[in-house]
Amino acid sequence: MIEKLIATIQERYAFSEEDANMLRARMTETLEFKPGDIIVPEGEEISYSSLLVEGFSCRSKYTTEGSRQIMQFNIPGDFVDLHSYPLEVLDHSITALTDCRIVKLQHRDITQIIDSNPRLGRILWFATMVDASMHREWLVCFGARAGAMRVAHLFCEMFYRLQVVGLTQGKSYRFPITQADLAQALGFTTIHVNRMLRELRDEGLATFRSKEVEIPDLKALEGRADFDPAYLYLEPRHQ
């Protein structure tokens, strides 16, 4: 399982076999989490980064009024807190949405890896910048895309991301979250999310039932969502 993921990352980020081995050797320790568990707590000094190998988690923050904003969903293959290496302390938490398994990579190992192979450092840096790019696209969604469009955009994003790691089945994929989670991610109320889902369903563009998203015609949904996958930087790199 972890091998398959390393292979995927290897291809996507143009890893050499040597690079992959270097990582492999240092990534053996795993941790497991239950839904609702905090994988990485906000505000604490962190000494290792976590590669999510199984399950779904999310980045989120709470406001002082108690409402929670989800800023990103993490899927298998994501380094959920690689940015804790440069930042040391995170501004937000990572929370498990399902049963999750992560593999640790100690920060001191990252330092060592980068010292001996600066090119790999740039690749790791790249990975964190893709997250930033997603944040920016979400900001566009929040500021300039309303209602069903916003929901549709998220469904497209998740499709592309999950496809890369082989977690789509034809026109559908498993998205193991509740409508309440969805609402916290989209900046809507649960009720409104429900209505927007119905709208997409009625339009025949997408269904979300029993934690499964089905998209009969991806291009059509992309059109509805004003979606362009460029910001995900999925094309293989060539540095």
Partner DNA sequence: CGCCTCATTGACCTAGTTCAATTTGGGTGG
Partner DNA sequence: CCACCCAAATTGAACTAGGTCAATGAGGCG
Question: What does the block give as tokens for 42?
Answer: 């906000």
In angstroms, give the least distance from the CB of 197 to DNA: 5
CB of 170 to a second copy, least distance (A): 28
Specify whether the CB–CB gap between 69 and 187 falls below 8 A.
Answer: yes
| Among positions 7, 25, 31, 140, the unique one binding a second copy when judged by CB under 8 A | 140
Instruction: Give the nearest distance from C-beta 161 to a second copy in angstroms.
Output: 15
* Residue nearer to a second copy on the CB measure, 137 or 157: 137
Choose which of 3, 17, 18, 65 interacts with a second copy (CB under 8 A): 65
CA distance from start to end of the chain: 27
Task: Considering only residues 104 through 133, tell me which ones interact with a second copy, judged by CB under 8 A.
Answer: 111, 114-115, 118, 121-123, 125-126, 128-133
SS3 content of the chain, % helix, strand, coil (to 5): 45, 20, 30
Q: Give CA–CA dist 198/191, Å, rounded.
A: 11
Other CB atoms within 10 A of residue 114 CB: 17
Burial of 173 (C-beta count, 10 Å sphere; 0-12/13-18/19+) = buried
Site string for a second copy, 178-217 (x = CB under 8 A): ------x-xx------------------------------
Q: Which of residues 75-104 bind a second copy (CB under 8 A)?
A: 83, 85-88, 91-92
The answer to whether 219 and 149 are in contact (CB under 8 A) is no
Determine which residue in the list 5, 54, 59, 213 makes contact with a second copy, applying CB under 8 A: 59
Please, are residues 213 and 219 in contact by the beta-carbon 8 Å criterion?
no
CB 39 within 8 Å of CB 94: yes
Residue numbers at the binding site for DNA (CB under 7 A): 146-147, 178-180, 187-192, 194-198, 209-210
Are 90 and 81 within 8 A, CB to CB? yes
**What residue 210 binds from a second copy, DNA, none (CB within 5 to 8 A, per partner kind)?**
DNA
Residue 162 contact among a second copy, DNA, none, beta carbon within 5 to 8 Å by kind: none
Cα distances (Å, whole numbers) of residue 146 to 70, 140, 152: 17, 10, 10
Which CB sits closer to DNA, 121 or 187? 187
Q: Extract the runs of DSSP E, i.e. beta strands, from the chain.
A: 30-33, 38-40, 48-54, 57-62, 68-74, 93-96, 100-106, 168-169, 172-174, 207-209, 212-214
Binds 160, which of a second copy, DNA, none (CB < 5 to 8 A, cut-off by type)? none
Q: Which is nearer to DNA, 187 or 229 (CB)?
A: 187
The binding site for a second copy (CB under 8 A) comprises 43, 59, 61, 63-65, 67-69, 71, 83, 85-88, 91-92, 111, 114-115, 118, 121-123, 125-126, 128-133, 135-140, 142-145, 184, 186-187, 226, 230-231, 233, 237, 239
